Amino acid sequence: MIPQQKPSGMPFHRYQPFKPVDLPDRTWPSKTITKAPRWLSTDLRDGNQALIEPMDARRKSEIFDLLVRMGYKEIEVGFPAASQTDYDFVRYLIEEDRIPDDVQISVLTQAREELIERTVQSLVGAKRATVHLYNATAPEFRRVVFGVNREECKGIAVEGTRQVLKFAEQYLGDTEYFGYEYSPEIFIDTELDFALEVCEAVMDVYQPGPDREIILNLPATVERATPNVYADQIEWMSRNLSRREYVCLSVHPHNDRGTGVASAELAVMAGADRVEGCLFGHGERTGNVCLVTLGLNLFSQGVDPMIDFSDIDEIRRVVEHCTQLPVSPRHPYGGDLVYTAFSGSHQDAIKKGFHALEADAAAAGVPVDEYRWNVPYLPIDPKDVGRTYEAVIRVNSQSGKGGVSYVLQRDYSIDLPRRLQIEFSRVVQGYTDAEGGEFSGERIWEIFTDTYLSEGMVGIMAHRSETTGDGEYRISADVRLRDEIREISGTGNGPISAFVDALAGVGLKVRVLDYSEHALSEGGDARAAAYVEAEVDGRVLWGVGINSNITTASLKAVCSAINRAQS
């Protein structure tokens, strides 16, 4: 019988389901995203206002330069009326000429005259600048926070817009491109007809038109609905807004339900032209939508994100340094562990995937770095974001033969035959079970050498051989047998069988079942590895030999199998 879940006792009756939007002819579910939306980074504003220690000018400047290097063209640089630090930072960017000509900075303000004036003043001398005005429009905010009715709430937005225009005219005569953005804050909880009414009223004042776009930004200030509801809201607004061709419809998802990325993506499918967010999802509470995830999600679908993520670790380092908050090791695309497989079946598939990729690329005559990426468990090639393959396969107690052998091959050029992989991974498993934690390449190599390459009962000191006229192979060898050096000789159809014959003469019975060898390196000091599967005293096990002489390597491998049988 299937176990029955029990009521949790949690006070869920205190919460109400979010009301869906009545939009039966919604079109977004059948859309796909084929080009990057316009991005706005609000790392220096929404991201900054939620830090334990807001960034100082130096840290803000580092983030700004990073965003510019990455290719962001719209950057919200602060809330200048909030603090002297924010104000001074905007002044610094302008006065020190730190803003490239093709970058539009923006600044946020409440709809309060004295704040708007100071905000606009902060922009004097900027070539391109946007003032972003907001006021909360949701019913609960109208009632509790502002104590206003719908008309009065709309009036705040309208009056604020007028004041922005007035002060822009007064202070920003030299600005080459002045932009205006309006956000009905808490849009997600605002009645759609009212959100539309406020946006229309704001547009009536601003008068968008050719070369005079207005950005209407519809924030999921607190993410409270499933992403499909947000998408319906955006599609509804997109369909019903007048002057749509002059409106840049922007979204600003937060991540309270953990679905900020999905909300942004569905919103773009629903008609949003622009997305506001922060690198690695910084921002109020659970954060703003993560721009890294959104960008690289597009990349993974073959769409140019129009942002350069090719050095993800550098991006992460700067963000961690400036925000003084760590990025989770599991963070999509940028976390330490996100291109790593510890578990055996994943490692096996990845290893096979890499081989197949190389073979397919070679067959197609295309460099592997250019070939269509398709490796199991890795949505993108870690190299495309500046990672190496070093950390792709790491070994712990969950790992199987694929992982262990991959690490040996990657770090030591050791290419174990399949049955030896199985045998050795059981050896490693014994250690990982006993010791716990992750095993580095060095540790695995140490176990490998202890297991297969260390001295034992028998060792080969020297050997001489000749081939007789009828193709028989004769060997005589000096072997160390326990503490004695003995000269032994034997014949066979090759060095291994002749050596096995010689060993039989001193009572060591070995039956060789399988053999393989490969070069470990190229050039004058080339070494080879030999692998022998042998039956010794009724046990079947592998031996390994490494030497610059391939015959010596194979005789060592026979000795290694005998020694292992004794242990």
Ligand X SMILES: CC(C)C(=O)C(=O)O
Ligand Y SMILES: CC(=O)SCCNC(=O)CCNC(=O)[C@H](O)C(C)(C)COP(=O)(O)OP(=O)(O)OC[C@H]1O[C@@H](n2cnc3c(N)ncnc32)[C@H](O)[C@@H]1OP(=O)(O)O
Determine if 144 is a binding residue for ligand Y (CB under 6 A).
no
Give 430-482 as a DSSP string.
HHHHHH-S-B-HHHHHHHHIIIIIS--SEEEEEEEEEE-TTS-EEEEEEEEET
Q: Residue from 63, 82, 272, 292 that binds ligand Y (CB under 6 A)? A: 82
Query: What is the DSSP secondary structure assignment for residue 341, as one 8-state letter?
Result: B
CA proximity to 340, closest of 296, 399, 293, 408: 399
Give the three-state DSSP class for 9: coil
Closer residue to ligand Y in complex, CB, 49/259: 49
Helix (H) or strand (E) holding 150: helix 150-171
The residues that bridge with 79 in the sheet, in sequence order, are none
Task: Report the C-alpha gap between 63 and 315 in whole angstroms.
Answer: 9
Task: Report the C-alpha gap between 304 and 298 in whole angstroms.
Answer: 7
Site for ligand Y in 248-307 (CB under 6 A): 284
Task: Write phi, then psi, for 477 (nearest 5 degrees).
Answer: -140, 145
Closer residue to ligand X in complex, CB, 277/543: 277
Burial category of 55 from C-beta neighbours within 10 Å (exposed 0-12, middle 13-18, buried 19 and up): buried
Q: Residue from 106, 130, 135, 563 that binds ligand Y (CB under 6 A)? A: 135
282 is in an annotated binding site: no
CB of 374 to ligand Y, least distance (A): 41
Question: Do the bridges between strand 458-467 and strand 473-481 make them parallel or antiparallel, or are there none, so unpaired?
Answer: antiparallel
Site for ligand Y in 528-547 (CB under 6 A): none
252 is in an annotated binding site: yes
46 is in an annotated binding site: yes
From first CA to last CA, the distance across the chain in angstroms is 49
Structure tokens at 216: 């209407």
**112 is in the binding site of which of ligand X, ligand Y, none (Cβ under 5 to 8 A by kind)?**
ligand Y
Q: Residue from 48, 49, 288, 323 that binds ligand Y (CB under 6 A)? A: 49
Give the three-state DSSP class for 437: coil
Closer residue to ligand X in complex, CB, 134/499: 134
240 is in an annotated binding site: no
Closer residue to ligand Y in complex, CB, 142/387: 142
CA proximity to 305, closest of 37, 73, 41: 37
Closer residue to ligand X in complex, CB, 137/297: 137
**183 is in the binding site of which of ligand X, ligand Y, none (Cβ under 5 to 8 A by kind)?**
ligand X
CB of 142 to ligand X, least distance (A): 15
CB of 341 to ligand Y, least distance (A): 39
Question: From start to end of 199-346, where are the E strands?
Answer: 214-220, 247-253, 274-277
Determine if 81 is a binding residue for ligand Y (CB under 6 A).
yes
Tell me which residue has tokens 């001295």.
Answer: 455
Closer residue to ligand Y in complex, CB, 119/554: 119
What is the binding site for ligand X (CB under 6 A)?
A: 46, 108, 134, 183, 185, 217, 219, 221, 252, 254
Site for ligand Y in 160-219 (CB under 6 A): 185
Binding site for ligand Y (CB under 6 A): 46, 49, 79, 81-82, 110-112, 115, 134-135, 145-146, 156, 185, 221, 284
- Which residues are documented as binding site? 46, 252, 254, 288
- Which residues are documented as binding site for Mg(2+)? 46, 252, 254, 288
